[in-house]
Amino acid sequence: MNIADKFLNLVGIGRDRGLPPPRLVAIADGLLVTERNAEAWFLISVANTDLATEAEQDAALDAAVSAAATILGDRLSHLKVVWGRSTGQDYLDSMAGHYRLGDHEGWAQTRADRIDEMRMPERYVALGVHLSDRDPRATAQVRGSISDALGTTSWRVSARELAHLDERVRKLGRQLGSTVWRAHTAPAEVISWLISREMHRGAVAAPRRGLITGASLARLTSGRVVPYTDHLRIYDTRGQIAAYTSVLAMTDFPEELETPGAGEWLRTLSEIKAIDDDGDEIDVTVEASVRFRVLTKKTARHLVDETRKSAKEQRRSAAKGTAEETADEIVETERIMREVKRDISRSGLTLVEDHPRLLVSADTREDLETYVDAVVAHYADRGITVAAGADEQRDLWLESLPGDQLRVPDLGHVRESTAFFGSWFWGGASIGDATGPSIGYLTGSTPGLVRFDAAAGSALGDATTTLFLGRSGRGKTTAAMIGGLDSAFSGAWVPLLDLKGDAAGVSAVAAEYGVPTAVIEITAQFSGAADLLRVLPVDDALLQAPSQLMLLLPPHLRGAAEAPVMAATRAEIQSPDPSSWGVIQRLCASESETTRTVGFALRDLVETGLGSVVAGPPSGLSSLTTNPGLWVVQMPGLTLPSPESAPESWSPIERVGMACLRGCLAWMVRTTGRREFRGRSKVVIVPEVHLLTKTPDGASFLDYIARVGRALGASLVLDTQDPASILKLPGLVEQITTLFAFSLRSREQVDSLLELLGRPQTAPYQTLVRGINTAANGKSIRHGHCIMRDRWDEVATVQIDIPSQRVADLLRTTPESEHANEATVPVLPPYEEPDPFADDEDELDDALEPAAQAHAQAAAHTQTPLPPAEPPHEPATPAPATTASATPGPATAPPATADPPTADPRTATPATADPRAATAALATPPPAATPPQASTHPADAAPPAARATHPASSAHQPPAGPPQPQVPADAQPSPVNQQNGSAPSPAASNGHDHTHSGRYDEPIGPDDVYDQEADEAAYNEAMYPATPEDDPHPPRNGSPRKEHVA
């Protein structure tokens, strides 16, 4: 820069001021060509720094400084931080081909609608790097012509030049991609968007092709912008004001800025808030444009010498002109410049020349002033001066456009590179899988969607266990159920072990969207189904089965029982069909009185009730279907000990409950090893695993299950309140791929959780864990808010989000919620005989449809249902008596009677189901399986036009077959079946009620839906009301009665 240029810049009329906007010539992937120069453009990936340790941030900052000095040295660069929106359509596009089962399009659309309504900002960090100047004559002011719009201008780029520039872009991209910024080439559409968005013309869509030139390019920049003293007014095509924008210059920085902290002046853009007229905080959208140059050593030394010489001349001039002492500032400047030059030469100090600008926009002038004041105050708190560029708005705004140049060089700074890159423009929050379903959103400094695929670990050959940790009532179970639903929609086999009986709602959601599902009740009919001696391989069973039997025994018998139980197990395992029942029989037949006592004690526990499921006489029945879908496994009457109780104090029924938990877990995991599951996704969901880890053998068993699950390709989703016990199982810890941490209180548990998260056990992180589920007001619970650690060990805060209020109502896990929803009638489609295990990919979609096998299986062990109430209206067409009962609604259910059910021709229209479906769904069919049929109240009978169809989208028509049951026009069916044949309580319209909150920081689901433990008496009363024989007063609100197979 010559002396004349310096003088012009000093008085504010530099040569660069007043230049016309650059004429765009071409846009390609990663390349922007104007009449004056060519630039390479890249998108910088967000680094996950919100919860990073200071050491991690220091290492990343050093790496960034080193990369910038090596790659960007003396290159003119342009950094832009802008905001877009996460859209539902983008989400749908990203999920194409992922879901395969049921009305997956409706499920994806429900989430997409939620994303649109949240209007969640999405941050883009773009980096432009100057490649070359083109024609020096382009700096002259020339008049535009019609040829520019027609693409016939003389500034067109030749194919040869384009190929040369493209090669340079690729080379630079490879270099930047290997840095901490993980930069990648910006698509042509994104570069076009960066340009056109400055005109606030959202209707202008960038052409969908690789090279953009001519008239298409001219349309991107068409618009009208009128500068005023402290702002600009941007007009749309109708001549109306589209936006008010003010460009602010960051004119002064303190001598020292702390990083992490106030020095992160670009990362904190998303944290700026303003106060509206109602006194509420609102987000202020602030964007940044920074033109900078990383100075090489030679350039830096030259600049330092020039500054030192200037200071020296000022000192001499002052000494000659006056007798007063030379100003201290001049002397200090000389000293600092000498030290800087020494550091550049000796320690490799790197300098950056930067010109930061902030852009604030609003719909009205008043809002703009409010937002600008908020930005000024935000940075004033950090010691940074921000001011509107008075009478510089035009040039500052043009300077922010891609393809333009530095126009106001006097509003700049020269500083150490750590001070510039310490702004952490690429920092923020980023976590989760790169693809897959959305489970929530980030709550850190950079909002965004969080994706989580429970089955992804198996597909990637990675660890396969997902862990939900934290206190009860914070949203763990709900989060696990959402993950299970997404896996079911993708075609996985998803059994959910529902220990508390409060997860039937997830089956109702699956049914509403046409996913095969059932609530399966494990009772004494499935005797021996969860017998470890029958479920596990011989070698493993020899270790685990005796431990299971020892768990059933009272403490005073265990000491004398260990050797006899092991001996009897070794003998039994040699038999053709070994079982724990056989071990008990051997013990009872022993000549030793002590051994017989042990055998009799075990026999008394396992001959009836749930004990028979784990060690009773084998019935040969297995209730777990192998069809893809979501299967909720419940054990009525199961009683588990409290997490605080010692194992020695467990009652007999609690010991049986623990044995059932272990047996059913092994049963489900080992089922995934069957031949028909090869190559298929399997996700097993198990809550309350802290009960297993309370005993050494239980902890060892859980560790074994996690290893077996990975070997079989099964993904485990575990829920626990005790991270300390998990930490003592290194084998299990190694299998954890993703972790969701909710709040905890005790010091031991908090520190254990932090160790699992990979965060230091220091006060800030401990406070974070304790308060992660505390709302901003400090007086209420923020359900679903958690700390997530993904498969790449990134850690960030996340809000689990339920896609709709309807889904939230169905997923509610409080005991009383089961009776709070409208009644429904199960719909059973006609029997078909598809091959659900076909290897041909073309046939898989048909095989994954909710066929009759899945529904008939759910009713294969039904008993006589409750009798229907007397119809208040005219009877429908006579029909035989049915075996599947409809759950009464809370407002319309008549009192149930204790009389035995009778065949009433007025009660129902039959639904046809083929009895062969039962044999297809079960490993061994029951002796006398009755084909399931659905019933409806005659008053609710609908004309043929209103008959219920399969709960899928309108595009999926059910196959032709016998007539379906008739239901009211305003009541939609839900094909959830329970193993006892009764219909599920929750169901609703398949029209998908998409009523959501409008702000992304106010989740509709987790604040209302969460898991809640109830005391045993209240829980049993709510879930299993007394039968009419025991209680002459029928339950109120039409509460459904669950029947169990004895």
Judged by average pLDDT, the poorest of 399-408, 927-936, 1004-1013 is: 1004-1013
- Asked if the model's pLDDT at residue 136 lies above 70, the reply is no
Residue 131 has pLDDT above 90, yes or no: yes
pLDDT at 146 over 80: no
Whether 972 shows a pLDDT value over 50: the answer reads no
pLDDT computed for residue 636 by the predictor = 83
Predicted local confidence at residue 906, as pLDDT: 36
Percent of the chain scored above 70 by pLDDT?
69
Q: First and final CA of the chain: distance in angstroms?
A: 94
- Report the C-alpha gap between 214 and 150 in whole angstroms: 6
- pLDDT score of 20: 83
Residue 166 is assigned to a structural domain of this protein: yes
Q: pLDDT per residue over 654-701, tens digit each?
A: 888 888 888 888 888 888 877 777 778 889 998 888 878 877 777 888
Domain count, the chain: 2
* pLDDT for 462: 78
Which secondary structure element, helix H or strand E, spans residue 274, and what is its range? Answer: strand 273-275
Question: What are the φ and ψ backbone dihedral angles of 787, each rounded to 5 degrees?
Answer: -105, 125
Which of 307-316, 519-528, 743-752 is the least confident region? 307-316
On the question of pLDDT at 260 being above 80, the answer is no
**Is a pLDDT exceeding 50 seen at residue 940?**
no
Of residues 437, 493, 477, the one with CA closest to residue 107: 437
Q: Say if residue 534 is in the same domain as residue 418.
A: no
Both tokens of residue 573? Answer: 């395992």
* 418 and 564 co-located in one domain: no
Question: What pLDDT is stored for residue 748 in this prediction?
Answer: 94
Listed residues 427, 446, 480: the one ending a domain: 427
pLDDT at residue 197 in the model = 81
- Which pLDDT score is estimated for 704? 82
Res. 343: pLDDT tops 80: no
Mean pLDDT of 99-123: 93
As a dihedral over the C-alpha atoms of residue 10, residue 15, residue 18, residue 23, rounded to 10 degrees, the angle is: -140
Q: Which is more confidently placed, 730 or 165?
A: 165
Kindly state whether residue 94 falls inside one of the protein's structural domains. yes
753-760: long-range contacts at Cβ-Cβ below 8 A with a sequence spacing of 24 or more?
Answer: 753/469, 753/723, 755/727, 756/467, 756/469, 756/723, 756/726, 756/727, 756/789, 757/787, 757/789, 757/795, 758/789, 758/793, 758/795, 759/51, 759/53, 759/795, 760/53
* Pair (416, 535) in one structural domain: no
pLDDT recorded at residue 702: 83
Choose the final residue of a domain: 395, 427, 459. 427
How high does pLDDT run on average in the chain? 75
Domain assignment present for 741: no
The CA angle 123-128-129, to the nearest 5 degrees, is 150
The encoded tokens of residue 782 equal 């923020």
Are 423 and 533 members of one domain? no
Whether 92 maps to a domain, the answer reads yes
Residue 1016, both tokens: 């045993």
> pLDDT tens for residues 617-657?
988 776 677 889 999 988 888 888 887 788 888 888 888 88
Residue 765: inside a domain: no
- Nearest alpha carbon to residue 663 among 534, 839, 556: 534
pLDDT of residue 212: 66
* Contact yes or no for 917/828 (Cβ under 8 A): no
The pLDDT of residue 256 is above 90: no
User: Which range (6-10, 526-530, 993-997) has the least confidence?
Assistant: 993-997
Average the pLDDT over 228-235 and give the result.
92
What pLDDT was estimated at residue 777?
79
pTM of the predicted structure, to 2 decimals: 0.72
Give 1039's contacts (C-beta < 8 A, 6+ positions apart): 818, 819, 890, 1025
Q: Comparing 426 with 714, which gets the higher pLDDT? A: 426
Q: Is the alpha carbon torsion for 137, 139, 143, 147 positive or negative?
A: positive
Task: For residues 418 and 556, state if they share a domain.
Answer: no
Model confidence over 432-459: pLDDT tens digits?
A: 998 999 999 999 888 899 999 998 887 7
User: Same domain, yes or no, for 418 and 562?
Assistant: no
What is the per-residue pLDDT for 763?
94
Average pLDDT, integer, range 892-920: 37
Residue 987 lies in a domain: no
Residues of the domain holding 369: 3-110+117-427
**Residue 475 belongs to some domain of the structure:** no
Which pLDDT does position 395 carry in this prediction?
A: 93
Task: Tell me: pLDDT of 920 over 50.
Answer: no
3-class secondary-structure state, position 10: helix
- The string of pLDDT tens digits covering residues 739-764 is 999 999 999 999 999 999 999 999 99
**φ, ψ of residue 525 in degrees (nearest 5):** -60, -30
Which residues, at least 6 apart from 873, have a Cβ–Cβ distance to it below 8 Å?
Answer: 938, 939
For the ranges 185-199, 616-630, 708-722, 1025-1039, the lowest mean pLDDT is seen at: 1025-1039
Question: Which of 45-54, 518-527, 832-841, 946-955 is most confident?
Answer: 45-54
CB neighbour class for 954 (10 Å; exposed up to 12, middle 13-18, buried from 19): exposed
Last residue of a domain, one of 394, 427, 460: 427
d(CA 73, CA 468): 47
| pLDDT for residue 539 is more than 60 | yes
| Same-domain check for residues 416 and 550 | no
| pLDDT value of residue 928 | 40
Mean pLDDT of 711-729: 89
Q: Give the pLDDT band of residue 78 (cuts 50, 70, 90).
A: very high
pLDDT of res. 318:
61
Q: What is the rounded radius of gyration, in angstroms, for the C-alpha atoms of the chain?
A: 35
Task: Indicate if 533 and 423 belong to the same structural domain.
Answer: no
| Token code pair at residue 709 | 């699950």
Tokens linked to 639: 């009683």
Question: What is the arithmetic mean of pLDDT over 926-950?
Answer: 38
Between these two residues, 370 and 257, which has the higher pLDDT value? 370
pLDDT of 261 reads: 76
> Is pLDDT at 92 greater than 70 in this prediction?
yes
Count Cα atoms within 13 angstroms, Cβ side, for 899: 9
Q: Measuring CA to CA, which residue among 66, 73, 184, 202 is closest to residue 126?
A: 184
Whole-angstrom CA distances from 747 to 9, 476, 751 are 61, 21, 6
**Rounded CA gap, 769 and 744, in Å?**
6
Distant-in-sequence, close-in-space partners of 271: CB < 8 Å, separation ≥ 6: 378, 445
Residue 114 has pLDDT above 90, yes or no: yes
Q: Is 898 a residue whose pLDDT tops 60?
A: no
User: Do residues 187 and 29 make contact, with C-beta atoms less than 8 angstroms apart?
Assistant: yes
- The answer to whether residue 434 sits within a structural domain is no
Summarised one tens digit per residue, pLDDT across range 268-284 is 888 899 988 888 888 89
Q: Across residues 798-811, what is the average pLDDT?
A: 93
What is the model's pLDDT at position 353?
Answer: 92
Angle between helices 538-552 and 696-711 in degrees, nearest 10 = 150
